[in-house]
Structure 1
Amino acid sequence: MIQKIDPYSTEPLYYQLKEILRKNILSETWKSGEKIPTEKQLSKMFGVSTAVVRQAVSLLVEEGFLIKRQGKGTFVVDARIRQGPRKLTSFTEEMISMGFNPTSVILEKGIREADEKISEALKLETGSKVIMVRRLRLANGDPFGIQTFYTPEYIAPDFLENDLTQSLYKLLELKYGIKISSAQEKYYATILDKYECKLLKAKWPFAGFIVERVAYDTNNTPIEYTESIIRSDRYSVQVQLRK
Structure 2
Amino acid sequence: MLPAYIKIHDAIKKDIENGQWAIGERLPSERDMADEFAVSRMTLRQAVTLLVEEGVLERRIGSGTYVASRRVQEKMRGTTSFTEIVNSQGKTPSSKLISYQRQLASETECQNLQLESKEYVIRMERIRYADNLPLVYEVASIPEKLIRNFNKTEITEHFFQTMRGHGYEIGKSQQTIYAKSASERVANYLEINKGHAILALTQISYLSDGLPFEYVRSQYVGDRFEFYLENN
Bucket of the pairwise TM-score, normalised by the shorter protein: 0.5 to 0.7
What does 1:131-150 correspond to in 2, within 5 Å? 131-150=122-141
What does 1:144-223 correspond to in 2, within 5 Å? 144-174=135-165, 176-223=166-213
Structure 1 match to 2:117: 126
| Preserved CA contact (<8 Å) 2:136 2:220 | yes
Describe the shift of the 1:125–1:147 C-alpha distance in structure 2 as closer, same or farther (beyond 3 A): same
Which moved further from structure 2: 113-122 or 84-93? 84-93
What does 1:94-133 correspond to in 2, within 5 Å? 94-133=85-124
| Preserved CA contact (<8 Å) 1:105 1:137 | yes
Deviation string, structure 1 residues 202-235 (Cα, Å, up to 9, x no partner): 0222010111111111111111111111111111
| Preserved CA contact (<8 Å) 1:103 1:165 | no
Q: Is the counterpart of residue 86 in structure 1 residue 116 in structure 2?
A: no
Quick one: which amino acid aligns to residue 94 of structure 2?
Answer: T
- CA distance in structure 2 between the aligned counterparts of 1:123 and 1:164, rounded to whole angstroms: 20
Higher gyration radius (CA)? 2
Deviation string, structure 1 residues 10-47 (Cα, Å, up to 9, x no partner): xxxxxxxxxxxxxxxxxxxxxxxxxxxxxxxxxxxxxx
Structure 2 match to 1:37: none
Deviation string, structure 1 residues 137-164 (Cα, Å, up to 9, x no partner): 0000011111111111111114353344
Describe the shift of the 1:227–1:156 C-alpha distance in structure 2 as closer, same or farther (beyond 3 A): same
- CA distance in structure 2 between the aligned counterparts of 1:85 and 1:94, rounded to whole angstroms: 11
SS of the residue corresponding to residue 223 of structure 2 reads: helix
In the TM superposition, residue 178 of structure 1 has moved relative to its aligned partner by: 1.6
Aligned-pair identity in percent equals 25
| Preserved CA contact (<8 Å) 1:190 1:208 | yes
| Preserved CA contact (<8 Å) 1:145 1:230 | yes
- CA distance in structure 1 between the aligned counterparts of 2:124 and 2:150, rounded to whole angstroms: 10
Identify unmatched segments of 5+ residues in structure 2.
1-74
- CA distance in structure 1 between the aligned counterparts of 2:185 and 2:110, rounded to whole angstroms: 27
| Preserved CA contact (<8 Å) 2:78 2:172 | no
Structure 1 match to 2:227: 237
In the TM superposition, residue 191 of structure 1 has moved relative to its aligned partner by: 0.1
Identify unmatched segments of 5+ residues in structure 1.
1-83
| Preserved CA contact (<8 Å) 2:79 2:205 | no
| Preserved CA contact (<8 Å) 1:143 1:201 | yes
| Preserved CA contact (<8 Å) 1:109 1:160 | no
Quick one: which amino acid aligns to residue 138 of structure 1?
Answer: Y
TM-score normalised to structure 2 length: 0.64
| 4+ residue runs over 6 A deviation | none
SS of the residue corresponding to residue 236 of structure 1 reads: strand
| Preserved CA contact (<8 Å) 1:115 1:127 | no
SS of the residue corresponding to residue 237 of structure 1 reads: strand
- CA distance in structure 2 between the aligned counterparts of 1:223 and 1:170, rounded to whole angstroms: 13
